Structures are given as C-alpha cells and as structure tokens.
Amino acid sequence: MMIQAPGSPSAAPEAALAADDSPMGEAARWAVGLLTAPGLAARDVTVERFVPTFPPRRSDGFCATLDEWRAKGPFTVLDYQPIAHKGWVTLAGPTGARHTLSLTLDSSGLIRILTFLPETVIPEIADWQTLEDVLRTPGVDHSVLAARLTADGIEVLHASDADRPMPTGSAYKLYVMRALVRAVENGELSWDDEVTVTPELRSLPTGDMQDLPDGTRVPVRETAYKMIAMSDNTGADLIADRLGRAAVERAVEESGHHDPALLRPFPTSHEVFELGWGPQELRDTWSAGDEAGRRELLRSIARPMTVRGCDLGATVHHLGLDWHMTAYDVLHVLDGLRRDSRRDTTGTVEHILTAYPGIAVDPAQWRRTYFKAGSCPGVMMFCWLLEDADGTAHVLVLRQAADEQKPIGDGLFLRGLGSRVVNSGLLTAKAAR
C-alpha cells in the first residue's frame, strides 16, 4: 500500500506529516504522538479526538491497547500517505519490524477508526500473470478486469472471471448514484432538497450519518457526497428511500447490468444487515422466496434495525444477500457515471465522484479518478475509472469472495495491488494480441 518517500528514510516522511495542515494531518500527527511521545501516561490520552462511538470511548480502556502498541517502539516514521478522510503512517520499531498506523476520520475530523498492525507487504506487479499469481489464495475466489474505453468499444487489457457474477458490497451505491442523477435531471429532485434521518432508515457503518439524531435533515448533495466518498450506508439508504426502489432498479437496467433480475428486489444496506444477521428465519425466507416473496419480506422488516455491528461475522453472500455483479457490470456503471458527469453543468456529480480516489495517483498521468470500494463478510472489491491526459478512460476492477473473512483480511492487500497496477503502467500499455 505504501509508497516509500524519496530521500532520507525518515526525514522526508516526517516533514510531509509535519507540513500537512489538513484535518487528516492534524489527526495523524496526534496519533503518531501517542506512539512516539516519551513518558506518555494513560491519563494523558485525549479521548475527545475520537467519535463518541469509538470503542472504547474511555481513556483507561484505550490505553491498555496503547501500552501494547508503544511497547513495540521506539518508532521511526518511514512513510505517510494521506488520501482524503483516510491516512496511513508506516512506522519501524527498534528491530526493523514495520507497522502501519491507519486512521479513518468522520466528516467533522474526529477519528472513527484507528488501527496499528504489521505492515501489509505489497509485491511489485510487473505483468498481469504476477497479479494473478499473488491473488491466488486458498479458499478465495478472485476476479480481475482491466480495460480501456475507446471510440471503438471496450479494449480488454486483462480479464479473469470478469463475466462471473460475484458479490460486490458497497459497489451497489454506484447504481443509487445513477438513479439520483437521473432524478435530478428529470426535475424530480434537486441537490438542495433534504432527506431526513429516521430510525427505520438508520443503518450500520461505514460512514457517520447513522450517528445523527432522529429528525436531522441533510441536503441531498451532502448525503450523496458521503454515500460515495465515505461509503456512508445510512446516506445511501436515505437517498434510495427518497428515490424509491423502482428508480434504483431502473438504473440497474439502464446501466447495462447483464442480468437485472439478480438485483430485484434491490435491497438497502439496512435490509441486508437485518436479513443477513438477524433471526435465521429471515434468511430462510429470503433464500426460498421468489422476487414477489422477497419484496414482501423487505416490507415486513421496515422497522428500526435490531442488528448491531458486533453481530456481523458469518458470510451470507452465498444466500443472495449482497449485490451481485460481473466485472463488466461494474465497468458499465462506472462509464455511465462518467457520461452523467459530462452532462452535469453544475459540477456536482464530478465533485462527488472524484472526492476520494482510494489510492495515491499521479495527477500528471491521471487527470480524473473515480473510485469505489465494497466489502462485507467474505467480500472485498475495489474499482477505478481513470482518465488519462487525452481523456481516454481506463477501468480496473479487483474482486475477492470467500466463505469467511479471514483469508481476505482487511482489504489493504487488495487495495495495495490496485495501487501497484495503477502506478505500474500496465493500464496504459498496449493490449495483448
């Protein structure tokens, strides 16, 4: 994942971290200080830096973990990678062991996620066969699509299982975004309209809108931004509810999904969480039901969620409780959003889609980057649409699915492979004949 900064192994990254005056830079410096400040006592930790739901909120609970982290030091900063609301700091301990301090901020700049784990080593990717080799993991299915979009159509650079439907997690939000753009274009909704947070529409993280009080009204523009840039589940569900399920299902068809019936009925994240990890009889009914029966089941659970984040564990994507797409389906919806952005004279769609590129990209090579990630127990996917200086679009889709989460991990490996490919020149090379 990390790209070693040039020059001194420590001075350049430390200088970059010190010079970053963004909310991420401020949070990262504070977090690094937790690990490196001499004589730091547990009572000195300022829990106000964390969101109220950060576990554990009390300083004495977190400091037990912090003491374990600090015991691996003293540390030297080797690398700092800030990308929008996420940041990664690579630190080396006295034995040379490298760890990654990962931060995710909420929209107010508070720390929502803070982890400190051994560095995920990402191999160099010189060719497509190397990528396939490193993705080959026992118990994990994977799929790759790399393509160039030309005036003559799709030029495939590399594909493996690209036409196989697989669960994609939050990539479903790309369809919600397309449905929203269509509603705005048709005058059915404006970016300045508002959605209202209710218990029936509140979902689980990712994102932070689930923490808003009941009755909070949020502009559609801000909600859509969080839905894409922060993958906010509650934000996506608020917009899907405002549009109506039928509108999102039309967007699936209009975006060229190879088999729209796979996404009918189109569930919200709230519904997938409630069905997937609620009472077993809900999963049994979903699995046995036809489209009409599943629609009735979704109507029956239109209530505040009973599932908690700690309930998630077992995989359910094999029951159809996810959003199944081929890699080509992902390509088509990304390309559809690119066309949507070109029609939008306000720049709102472009601002939303380019807010978070997922990885560090060279703006001299890629003038525009759309990115979406998706995950669920046993599911990990990353997709990019990148435009080069000539306006030619290149698409990269990486997907993994397994019967359990452990062999997939936290996504840093797959994201890192995406970064390697994007920065390797493979996407701009000529397609193999």
pTM here is 0.92
Question: 292-309 pLDDT, tens per residue?
Answer: 999 999 999 999 999 999
Q: What pLDDT shows up at residue 49?
A: 83
Q: What pLDDT shows up at residue 37?
A: 78
pLDDT over 60 at 364, yes or no: yes
User: Cα–Cα distance between 98 and 18 in angstroms, integer?
Assistant: 20
Residue predicted with more confidence, 347 or 68: 347
User: Residue 4 has which token pair?
Assistant: 């070693």
pLDDT over 70 at 55, yes or no: no
Residues in the chain: 433
Q: What pLDDT shows up at residue 8?
A: 32
Q: What pLDDT shows up at residue 289?
A: 96
Query: What is the C-alpha radius of gyration for the chain, rounded to an integer number of angstroms?
Result: 22
pLDDT over 90 at 365, yes or no: yes
Cβ partners under 8 Å of residue 414, min gap 6: 380, 381, 382, 398, 400, 408
Contact 197, 139 (CB under 8 A): no
> What fold does the segment set 11-118 form as a domain?
Nuclear Transport Factor 2; Chain: A, (3.10.450)
Average pLDDT of the chain to the nearest whole number: 92
User: Residue 350 has which token pair?
Assistant: 């472009």
User: Cα–Cα distance between 333 and 181 in angstroms, integer?
Assistant: 13
User: Cα–Cα distance between 412 and 408 in angstroms, integer?
Assistant: 10
Contact 326, 147 (CB under 8 A): no
Same fold for the domain at 11-118 and the one at 125-266+317-433? no
Cβ partners under 8 Å of residue 47, min gap 6: 54, 57, 58, 59, 62
136: alpha, beta or left? (left if phi > 0; alpha if psi -120 to 50) = beta
Q: Which CATH superfamily is domain 125-266+317-433 in?
A: DD-peptidase/beta-lactamase superfamily (3.40.710.10)
Residue 367 banded pLDDT, cuts 50, 70, 90: very high
Residue predicted with more confidence, 71 or 180: 180
Contact 204, 269 (CB under 8 A): yes
Task: Sketch the domain layout of the chain as residue ranges.
Answer: 11-118, 125-266+317-433
